[in-house]
Homo-oligomer: A and B are copies of this chain.
Amino acid sequence: MAIAREADPVGSLSEVKDAGLDREDLLGIYRNLLITRGVEERGHILYKQGKIPGSFYTGRGNEAAAVGIGTAMGPEDVGAPLHRDMGVHIVRGMEPWRVFANYMGRADGPTKGRDGNVHMADIRLGLISMVSHLPAMLPVAVGCALAFRIRDERRVALGWFGEGASARGDTHEAMNFAGTRRLPVVFICDNNQWAYSTPTHLEYAVEHIADRAQAYGFEGVVVDGTDVLAVYREAKRAIEKAREGGGPTLIECLTLRMEGHAVHDDAFYVPRELFEEWAKRDPIERFREWLRDNVSLTDGEEEEIAADVKHLLAEAMRRAEESPLPDTSTLLDGVYADPADLHAPHH
């Protein structure tokens, strides 16, 4: 028995306008989708070139979910996105060259080479760096919301988790605490149907993860994660509800992880037909068509955006490769914070 509300797709332009987006915003979203995918595609190339040490993860298939939610966040809101959520960093203003620098372990990446992959964020952009341990950032996101509630600020915190990580205790403790205190937090489940090689029925036995929201006293919503506008609309609703004191919402974005868990994984355990089926619903292609049908995106505009993104990313790769590897003299810097660090630029 499903309990969560299943969100409708976004249809007309007028609906979008109601949600607060004008044509320029829509093109901005499109651009961010392209940057998001572009960053990860180029990361993949860098990886194959041996320029990225360690492992490498992408969020292919999840770009619309990430960008849609990032776009719905207010400037003062904060969030802790995960390894499939590059789009959130991009929307919030993380410059792609810094992402590449982080991938490559360079001194100018946000972690200065201390951590890799998307285990990074810039707090000045309102984002908190994820740890690997899933979903340890959910209680942290709830704690941000608690701070807002204590100070009576009209800010909202967002916490992400995968459907696999939904099985862990931190998910429960975070949602339960947020529910009892009706804290201004929105939980986003990136449900991409696989947790590494593990299918959903071995991670949970309910129809939708979002059905669990009722167990915590708030609303759950299931949304098609390839529909950037539907994701945006639902996130906006949930965020504004939280801002107004309406408490948490759990939004489940349904997608398919379009690649292996990480580059080394060929995802042999995912039926090929599933990939083919979801490839037809590619979130970027889908939105491009929507833009053509609904706001008359022109060939010229399309090309211009594509060229612009291409240039941005080429520049970014160049700049990142110019960044040096960290000097070993920095090895022990910042294991402990100094009092002065408390006054570092912050969100």
> Which A residues have a C-beta under 8 Å from some C-beta of B?
1, 3, 166-173, 176-177, 179-180, 182, 201-206, 211-212, 214-218
Contact = CB atoms under 8 A, between A and B. Distances in A.
23 contacts: A3-B214, A167-B177, A168-B169, A168-B173, A169-B169, A169-B170, A169-B172, A172-B172, A172-B173, A176-B204, A176-B205, A179-B204, A180-B201, A180-B203, A180-B204, A204-B216, A204-B217, A205-B216, A205-B218, A206-B215, A211-B215, A212-B215, A214-B215
How many monomers of this chain does the complex have? 2
B168 A180 contact: no
Contacts of A1: 214
Nearest to A182: B205
A164 to B, nearest CB: 11
A31 B203 CA distance: 44
Question: Interface centre among A182, A201, A205, A206, by most B CB within 10 Å?
Answer: A205
Nearest to A171: B172
B169 A173 contact: yes
Contacts of A176: 166-167, 203-205
Contact of A167 (B173, B203, B205, B212): B173
Contacts of A205: 176, 179-180, 182, 216-218
A268 to B, nearest CB: 22
